Amino acid sequence: MPMPSNIYYWWNFGSLLSLCLIIQILRGLFLTIFYENNMTNSFERICHIERNINSGWLIRSLHANGASIFFLFIFLHIGRGLYFKSFYLTKVWIRGIIILFLLFATAFIGYVLPWGQISFWGATVITNLLRSIPYIGKTLTIWVWGNFSISKPTLIRFFRLHFILPFVLLVIILSHLIFLHKTGSNNPLGVNSNLDKISFQPFFNIKDLIGVLTTLILFLTICLIFPFLLIDPDNFTAANPLVTPPHIQPEWYFLFAYAILRSIPNKLGGVISLIISILIFILLPAFKNSKIKIINNKFIKKFIYFFWINNLIYLSLLGSLPIENPYVITSKFSRTIYFIIFPILIL
């Protein structure tokens, strides 16, 4: 397929994400052979995989840390799309955001399965957000749990969903790639032109190969030298409904949304803000034909873009800190910046 000649390594993340998904599915299939999804044995089976299965510790480390690599790449992929206005490719962009939503759901459900302290209490906190929905919230929460609290039916449902959703993701990713191949990739100039294109092989294959090798070095460094760097220490303790951890926080890729959620005192308002913080990305193609330009100076727009990115990182940092001042006040300020500056990025 002919590709714009001026695209560079920031365009590698699409192929790397496809590679990550395939590897995650293969490792997940291996883990399902030994996993047992019930309240009494789930945590012990994880310990059994880590300690007694040949190379089980490596497979589990690759799967757990692979999710973090997956999210790192998808955030970079979306960040590049925002910077170079990739949302002008409407069908491709919308499917990409749907993939992001499904990936969030898959990662959250998967984090519950080890049935450690953070797994249990994280699931309790997040699923209880459904109670904020007027009229049907309580009924919906009990329906999701399959009981009057998180228990065996919840774990069974989550395991089955975690097994099925990656294959749904695979189908949507294929449609994402099909529409991308119909329209072609954009380029740093933001111009779709057939006048300056070169063949994918061998020029971009080499770039993809370099990206794959760099990813493997990063990935294996984390899995072999720092395998527990991204895992909460409290999750090495079996789930206990009678003991609440001193500080409950989700994985790092949920922290920005978690900070937005808890920065609003009203529970329903927090849930709405949480949904909007991600949903706004799917609305971007609606502005591609807008004639309104808030700022025309490119240097200022670049400065605002990187300021917004740094604010997003700071918001994630705040999500990992205790709910106390001054973190609560700064979370509200950072949340406001997140929503106010976002329209400037696209107009």
Which residues form the catalytic set?
Answer: 181, 185, 207-208, 251
Cα(58)–Cα(195) distance, rounded to whole angstroms? 48
- Token pair for residue 27? 């490792």
**295 is written with which tokens?**
């700022």
> Helices 152-183 and 90-112 sit at what angle, rounded to 10 degrees?
160
CA 41 to chain CA centroid, nearest Å: 28
| Structural contact between residues 153 and 147, judged by C-beta atoms closer than 8 angstroms | yes
Q: How far is CA 157 from CA 12, 29, 132, 166, 235, in A?
A: 35, 17, 22, 15, 21
| 8 A C-beta contact, residue 152 and residue 39 | yes
142 burial type by CB count under 10 A (0-12 exposed, 13-18 middle, 19+ buried): middle
In sequence order, which residues have a C-beta less than 8 Å from that of residue 11 and are 6 or more positions away?
A: 80, 185, 207
By residue count, the chain amounts to 347
Q: For residue 67, which of 222, 188, 191, 190 has the smallest C-alpha distance? A: 222
